[in-house]
Amino acid sequence: MHRILIAEDEERIASFVRKGLSANGFTTTVVSDGRGAIDHACAGGTDLLILDLGLPDMDGFAVLRAIRDARVAIPVIILTARDSVRDTVAGLEGGADDYVTKPFRFEELLARVRLRLRGSDHAVEPTVLAAEGLSLDLRTRRARVGDQTVDLTAREFTLLELFLRHPGQVLSREQILSHVWGYDFDPGSNIVDVYVRALRRKLGADRITTVRGMGYAVGR
Ligand code: CA
């Protein structure tokens, strides 16, 4: 199991990332300042660092320099505000592997995490997910129902991918919202229902089960 260190001082974002990664089978540690990040990363046992640039005691670049100077070679993914992408590119030259701009969707971060960890353990990611007579090709981003190919919009694809990565599991609206739309989305929104309806129209009404008072599931 991979151990991920999250260095983020904004509690809402730290908890969003931690919950999402735990739900996907990662072990997580959260630190809220740069000193803690350096100490943890240098102590060993961390497989990947998610590093916020704006930490209270020092900026993320200083953290990055310190851990690279200490010869810690773990992959580092920087979290940064959209308006400081220019700095971030400098950060990549300074030893980071990737960056994600805030606000971000969880799936976006998860994809980067998986990509950066792939080199280290050669785990083969499936390219086709399937359940309930449905399949989804992650390369072509097309779904199939029986022998019929179905084109999906980007959001529909992400939503179906989420269901197929958790077959048989009931996903709450809140879980779906944070995975597909991100933490900045209004929790009172009915957008999840709207997209589930759209997927049902394309894939067949009975593929996605409504579990009353709980949420939705595929393969249940
Ligand atoms: Ca911050």
- For the full predicted model, state whether its pTM sits above 0.75: no
Same domain, 114 and 10: yes
pLDDT value at residue 220: 79
Give the model's confidence band at 121: pLDDT under 50 very low, under 70 low, under 90 confident, else very high: low
Same domain, 134 and 169: yes
CA-based end-to-end distance of the chain: 27
For ligand 1, the distance from its centroid to the CA atom of residue 152, given in whole angstroms, is 35
Same domain, 165 and 68: no
Same domain, 141 and 109: no
The residue segments making up the domain with residue 195 are 128-218
For ligand 1, the distance from its centroid to the CA atom of residue 62, given in whole angstroms, is 14
pLDDT value at residue 177: 87
CATH number at residue 60: 3.40.50.2300
Specify the long-range contacts of residues 131-137, CB closer than 8 Å, at least 24 apart.
131/163, 131/164, 131/167, 131/168, 131/218, 131/219, 132/167, 132/207, 132/218, 132/219, 133/207, 134/160, 134/164, 134/203, 134/207, 134/218, 136/160, 136/161, 136/164
For ligand 1, the distance from its centroid to the CA atom of residue 9, given in whole angstroms, is 5
For ligand 1, the distance from its centroid to the CA atom of residue 127, given in whole angstroms, is 35
* Per-residue burial over 44-57, b = 16 or more CB atoms within 10 Å of its CB, e = otherwise: eebbbbbbbbebee
Same domain, 159 and 105: no
Same domain, 17 and 110: yes
For ligand 1, the distance from its centroid to the CA atom of residue 49, given in whole angstroms, is 15
d(CA 55, CA 35): 10
Query: Which tens digit of pLDDT belongs to each residue from 177-219?
Result: 888 887 777 778 889 999 999 999 999 989 999 999 899 999 8
For ligand 1, the distance from its centroid to the CA atom of residue 72, given in whole angstroms, is 23
Give the model's confidence band at 170: pLDDT under 50 very low, under 70 low, under 90 confident, else very high: very high
Same domain, 154 and 105: no
Same domain, 201 and 106: no
CATH number at residue 201: 1.10.10.10
Give the model's confidence band at 132: pLDDT under 50 very low, under 70 low, under 90 confident, else very high: confident
Same domain, 192 and 108: no
> Taking 70 as the threshold, does the pLDDT of residue 55 lie above it?
yes
Residues near ligand 1 ion, CB 5 Å cutoff = 9, 52, 54
Read off the tokens for 141: 């981003």
